């Protein structure tokens, strides 16, 4: 009897082990990495960028390595080269770099890659640059009243910083950013425009409810959906409507 029980137990653990091995092989069994002082970094394979989900940062909102941020830096460099050189080959390199960024954003936010790429291509170059500049700050911690990514960014600080790099000066108050820009309907909102509700502004990524924003303390700059339940008064506004 004992031998039979032992055999059954062995078979059971063998099955469990096989399942776990398969899960790890496909990236589902990744475990959080503890980075000291209670900080937890969630591996990219298990990151789900919903409104309250963790991203690759510590509890004190310090940025950690993120491949999306790296690709955004590369795409921004390719953008600058394409603008400066006017070389079709440089433009092609930029489009490939942009597609790489879109692929990661779409995968993380569970939206159509082709739909997002079309949205980014159809918006102006200034709007594209604002998006890419914003994405280079992914993981930067939240700091109230700051538009300096080396120190931290609050919501309006992120929007002001991204658009300043595209040549548009915006105030450091969320409601004034909306008021200073040209308000548009959601149907007409392009990728890169400002989206906001009372007390919070974000950068719209052109598809569904997906935005880039500096959420709040302990979260910092991240990609995710608009929190529609927080306010029914969501507005879209374009800082560069003539572009």
Each residue's pLDDT tens digit, 68-87: 999 999 999 999 999 999 89
In sequence order, the 6+-apart residues with CB closer than 8 A to the CB of 64 are 35, 41, 56, 57, 58, 139
3-state SS assignment for residue 121? helix
Strands 194-197 and 200-204: antiparallel
Per-residue pLDDT at 232 = 77
| Residue-range domain boundaries for the chain | 56-238
Per-residue pLDDT at 86 = 87
Residue with tokens 């924003």: 213
Per-residue pLDDT at 80 = 97
Which CATH fold would you assign to the domain 56-238?
endopeptidase fold (from Nostoc punctiforme) (3.90.1720)
Residue 69 dihedral angles phi and psi, to the nearest 5°: -60, -40
Structure tokens at 31: 């475990």
Nearest to 139 by CA among 152, 126, 128: 152
Structure tokens at 4: 């039979």
- Give the separation between CA 180 and CA 159, rounded to whole angstroms: 13
Ranges under pLDDT 70 in the chain: 1-65, 230-231
Per-residue pLDDT at 186 = 92
pTM: 0.75
Per-residue pLDDT at 217 = 86
């Amino acid at each position: 009897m004992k031998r039979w029980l032992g055999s059954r137990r062995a078979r059971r653990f063998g099955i469990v082990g096989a399942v776990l091995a398969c899960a790890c092989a496909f990236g589902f069994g990744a475990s959080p990495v503890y980075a000291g002082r209670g900080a937890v970094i969630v591996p990219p394979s298990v990151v789900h960028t919903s409104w309250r989900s963790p991203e690759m940062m510590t509890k004190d909102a310090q940025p950690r390595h993120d491949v999306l941020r790296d690709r955004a830096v590369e795409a921004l460099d390719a953008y600058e080269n394409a603008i400066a050189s006017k070389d079709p080959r440089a433009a092609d390199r930029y489009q490939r770099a942009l597609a790489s960024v879109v692929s990661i954003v779409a995968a993380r936010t569970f939206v159509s890659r082709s739909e997002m790429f079309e949205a980014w291509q159809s918006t102006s170059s200034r709007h594209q640059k604002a998006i890419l500049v914003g994405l280079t700050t992914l993981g930067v911690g939240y700091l109230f009243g700051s538009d300096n990514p080396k120190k931290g960014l609050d919501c309006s600080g992120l929007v002001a910083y991204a658009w300043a790099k595209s040549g548009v000066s915006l105030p450091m108050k969320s409601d004034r950013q909306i008021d200073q820009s040209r308000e548009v309907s959601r149907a007409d909102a392009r990728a890169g425009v400002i989206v906001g509700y009372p007390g919070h502004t974000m950068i719209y990524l052109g598809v569904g409810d997906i935005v880039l924003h500096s959420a709040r303390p302990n979260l910092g700059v991240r990609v995710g959906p608009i929190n529609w339940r927080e306010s029914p008064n969501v507005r879209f506004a374009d800082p560069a409507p003539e572009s």
